[in-house]
């Protein structure tokens, strides 16, 4: 699904290097590392906003660097940690923006677009929100509709930057449970940058851990809390 | 009732109101002109009939320019507000009108025949609006807060005002008179023969602006989100500035500076429609803006027997309190 070969990310100079790895559909990958280590840089590189300092990323056997700017949203959807504050934006219209890479110049939705949006709303159990304004929602509800927008974008890869950062425990669990169902039932590859270590432990989630001292990232099919801390947070070990 | 049905009904009401108010506008002047005179002035014009002359050369152009000015400035305001994610933005507040005015001042004060012609003034107003649109776009890249952008717009306005005053002090009396009359703002400067070319440019702008609606819908999510949904931000910004300059420059060239329409109407429309669908907002802004200026100008015509009020002064009197209301509402 997505192949990383000899990858180094950064702005002008190298920030983090990654071991070669392949991420598959139907799975969630938790990206964990210290603040400022390069998680967001990695996500920006995957989403085509930054060029790799070195190496390649292949998505479905196609180099990301070869995918044109306009095509990227048909391959990768991205969920920001901060929800945009906009007045008079209805939940339905917000989710419908996920279809914009497929709509005509005027952004008109076709019947099949509406059907997909409604199906996604039903699958995520957010029908009761669809006629409300996004400005009226709680943080947890906002994350769910952001995920719905990413789902209607119909991409194989969904990337989320700290989706549980501002949520209480119940909402964190709800968001993660929805993501797990989406990954398995809709055959998506989901990458989640997170600091909620306890939340992602003991679940069918794999890990991309960024070593704090070596500045290297590596895929771990499973990991314990101690392993995560000893890799990502070496400096706080007693 | 579904939201889209409610929007359709309001738009239909506005569509119905516009020709009615336009007709009222035609008959609001001091001199009574019959409907038959209007028809004759268009289809069998008799240049010796004073009623037909008033109908053809004054009333009809004034009514059409009111519609174009109201619709165009409201659309320009909506474009600025979405582009800069700032409900208090508008071509007047951000100094784009001032840019057009400055270039028109230079144009008139040169005394060179081409620059003082209608074509010369229009071209300079369009260039001025575009240059100042690009300047404000440049500054917006470095400014984080909405207030800072408005302050830069205010400073641009003051700066151009000072340059215009400087130009006035060194210009000849005749040129100064032409500029002063232009700067008062009026819907009455256009002749019947100029309507078709002005309307053609305006209509082209309206068609082009419809195609920005998709980008505008996405841009409300912020530039990073918009980029990740496939919007080419640089191109979108440039296209929006060009269209804003087109509307602002065209209207400023023929009507002089008109304040507050671009700021007040999009906010009023958002309050009524409660949507971020920009196709709906663009259509509604055009209709509401046109109706708003027609109503302002009807009031002016009714007051005219007693004293003359330039359109710019009247829109400021009506628009400024509304803008204060918006600011108070946002701050609460």
Q: List C-alpha distances in Å: B271 to A7, A30, B281, B284, B326.
A: 50, 42, 11, 12, 10
Cβ B228–A49 below 8 Å, yes or no? yes
Q: How far is B213 from chain A (nearest CA, A)?
A: 6
A vs B, Cβ pairs < 8 A, gives 67
Least Cα distance to B205 among B174, B251, B153, B139 occurs for B251
- Give pLDDT tens digits along chain A (238 positions): 899 999 999 998 889 999 999 999 999 999 999 988 989 999 999 998 899 999 999 998 889 988 888 899 999 999 988 888 888 999 999 999 999 999 998 889 999 999 999 999 998 889 999 889 999 999 889 999 999 999 999 999 999 999 888 888 888 888 899 999 999 999 999 999 999 888 888 788 899 999 988 888 899 988 888 888 888 887 775 4
Least Cα distance to B227 among A86, A101, A193 occurs for A101
| Number of structural domains in chain A | 1
Residues in chain B: 332
Q: How far is A127 from chain B (nearest CA, A)?
A: 15
pLDDT at site B108: 86
Residues on chain B touching A73 (C-beta within 8 angstroms): 228-230
H helices of A124-218, in order, are: 139-152, 169-185, 197-200
| Contact B210/A at CB under 8 A | yes
| Contact B177/A at CB under 8 A | no
Which of B210, B225, B277 is facing A93, going by the closest CB pair? B277
pLDDT at site A1: 84
Residues in chain A: 238
Residue A152: domain span = 2-236
Residues on chain B touching A86 (C-beta within 8 angstroms): 220-221, 276
Sorted by sequence, the CB contacts under 8 Å of residue B180 that are 6+ apart come out as none
Alpha-carbon distance of A13 to A15, in angstroms, equals 6
Residues on chain B touching A87 (C-beta within 8 angstroms): 270
pLDDT at site A8: 94
| Contact B329/A at CB under 8 A | no
Cβ B279–A106 below 8 Å, yes or no? yes
Cβ B276–A88 below 8 Å, yes or no? yes
Could you tell me the end-to-end alpha-carbon distance of chain A, in angstroms, rounded to an integer?
Answer: 39
Which of A88, A97, A98 is facing B270, going by the closest CB pair? A88
> What domains sit in chain B, N to C, each tagged with a CATH number?
67-331 (1.10.3470.10)
What own/partner pairs with CB < 8 Å and gap ≥ 24 does B19-23 have? B21/B291, B21/B294, B21/B295, B21/B298, B22/B63, B22/B67, B22/B294
DSSP calls for B179-192: HHHHHT--S----H
Cβ A100–B214 below 8 Å, yes or no? yes
pLDDT at site B141: 83
Residue A133: its H or E element: none
- Give pLDDT tens digits along chain B (332 positions): 677 789 999 999 999 999 999 999 999 988 889 889 999 998 998 889 999 999 999 999 999 999 999 999 999 999 999 998 888 888 888 889 889 989 998 888 877 777 778 888 889 999 999 999 999 989 888 877 778 888 888 899 899 989 988 888 888 888 888 888 888 778 888 989 999 999 999 999 999 999 999 999 999 998 889 999 999 998 999 999 999 999 999 999 999 888 889 999 999 999 999 999 999 999 999 999 999 999 999 999 998 878 888 888 889 888 888 888 887 877 66
Alpha-carbon distance of A143 to A171, in angstroms, equals 9
Cβ A107–B217 below 8 Å, yes or no? yes
Alpha-carbon distance of B154 to B160, in angstroms, equals 10
- Give the residue from chain B lying closest to A80, CA to CA: B225
Residues on chain B touching A105 (C-beta within 8 angstroms): 211, 214
What residues does A90 pair with on adjacent strands?
A: A133
Q: How far is A213 from chain B (nearest CA, A)?
A: 31
Q: Which residues of A touch B (CB under 8 A)?
A: 47, 49, 69-73, 76-78, 80, 84, 86-90, 93, 97-98, 100-101, 103, 105-107, 131, 133
Could you report the predicted ipTM of this complex, rounded to two decimals? Answer: 0.89
**B60, two tokens:** 């009809």
pLDDT at site B266: 95
Q: How far is A116 from chain B (nearest CA, A)?
A: 18
pLDDT at site B113: 75
**B200, two tokens:** 């053609």
Which of A71, A86, A105 is facing B220, going by the closest CB pair? A86
Residue B195: its H or E element: helix B192-210
Cβ B230–A69 below 8 Å, yes or no? yes
CA atoms within 13 A on the CB side of B248: 38
CATH number where A155 lies: 3.40.50.300
DSSP at A109: P
pLDDT at site B208: 96
Which of A72, A80, A84 is facing B230, going by the closest CB pair? A72
Residues on chain A touching B211 (C-beta within 8 angstroms): 105-106
Q: Which of A64, A77, A84, A149 to mutate against chain B (most B CBs within 10 Å)? A: A84
Q: How far is B176 from chain A (nearest CA, A)?
A: 46
Which of A93, A101, A105 is facing B276, going by the closest CB pair? A93
Cβ B3–A131 below 8 Å, yes or no? yes
| Contact B12/A at CB under 8 A | no
| Dihedral angle over CA of A81, A86, A90, A95, nearest 10 | -30
pLDDT at site A238: 47
Cβ B213–A107 below 8 Å, yes or no? yes
């Amino acid at each position: 699904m997505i192949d990383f070969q000899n990858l180094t990310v950064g702005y002008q100079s190298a920030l983090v290097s990654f071991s070669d790895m392949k991420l598959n559909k139907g799975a969630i990958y938790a990206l964990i590392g210290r603040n400022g280590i390069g998680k967001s840089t990695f996500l920006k590189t995957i989403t085509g906003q930054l060029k790799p300092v070195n190496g390649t990323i292949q998505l479905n056997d196609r180099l990301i660097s070869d995918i044109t700017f306009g095509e990227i949203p048909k391959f990768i959807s991205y969920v920001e940690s901060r929800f945009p504050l906009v007045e008079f934006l209805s939940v339905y219209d917000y989710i419908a923006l996920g279809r914009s890479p497929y709509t005509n110049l005027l952004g008109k939705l076709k019947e099949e677009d509406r059907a997909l949006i409604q199906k996604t709303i039903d699958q995520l159990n957010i029908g009761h929100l669809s006629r409300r304004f996004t400005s009226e929602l709680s943080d947890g509800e906002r994350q769910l509709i952001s995920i719905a927008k990413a789902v209607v974008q119909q991409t194989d890869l969904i990337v989320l930057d700290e989706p549980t950062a501002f949520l209480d425990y119940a909402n964190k669990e709800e968001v993660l449970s929805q993501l797990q169902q989406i990954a398995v039932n809709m055959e998506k590859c989901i990458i989640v940058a997170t600091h909620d270590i306890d939340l992602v432990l003991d679940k069918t989630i794999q890990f991309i851990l960024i070593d704090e001292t070596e500045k290297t990232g590596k895929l771990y099919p499973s990991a314990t809390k101690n392993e995560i801390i000893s890799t990502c947070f070496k400096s706080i070990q007693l | 009732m579904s939201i889209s049905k409610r929007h359709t009904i309001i738009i239909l009401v506005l569509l119905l109101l516009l020709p009615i108010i336009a007709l009222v506008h035609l008959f609001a002047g001091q001199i009574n002109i019959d409907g038959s005179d209007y028809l004759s002035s268009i289809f069998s014009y008799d240049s010796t009939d004073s009623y037909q002359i008033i109908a053809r050369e004054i009333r009809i152009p004034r009514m059409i320019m009111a519609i174009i000015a109201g619709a165009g400035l409201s659309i320009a305001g909506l474009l600025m507000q979405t582009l800069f994610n700032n409900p208090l933005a508008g071509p007047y507040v951000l100094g784009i009108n001032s840019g057009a005015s400055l270039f028109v001042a230079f144009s008139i004060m040169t005394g060179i025949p081409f620059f003082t012609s209608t074509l010369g003034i229009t071209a300079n107003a369009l260039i001025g609006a575009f240059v100042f649109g690009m300047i404000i776009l440049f500054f917006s890249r470095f400014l984080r807060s909405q207030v800072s952008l408005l302050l830069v717009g205010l400073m641009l306005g003051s700066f151009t005002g000072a340059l215009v005053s400087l130009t006035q002090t060194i210009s000849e009396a005749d040129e100064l008179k032409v500029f002063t009359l232009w700067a008062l703002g009026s819907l009455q400067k256009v002749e019947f023969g100029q309507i078709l070319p002005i309307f053609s440019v305006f209509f082209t702008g309206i068609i082009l602006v419809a195609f920005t609606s998709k980008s505008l819908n996405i841009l409300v999510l912020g530039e990073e989100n918009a980029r990740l949904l496939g919007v080419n931000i640089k191109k979108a910004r440039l296209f929006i500035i060009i269209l804003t300059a087109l509307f602002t420059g065209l209207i400023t060239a023929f009507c002089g500076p008109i304040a507050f329409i671009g700021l007040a109407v999009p906010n009023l429309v958002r309050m009524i429609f409660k949507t971020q669908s920009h196709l709906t907002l663009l259509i509604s802004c055009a209709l509401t803006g046109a109706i708003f200026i027609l109503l302002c100008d009807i009031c002016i015509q009714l007051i005219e027997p007693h004293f003359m009020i330039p359109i710019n002064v009247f829109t400021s009197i009506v628009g400024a309190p509304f803008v204060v209301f918006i600011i108070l509402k946002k701050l609460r």
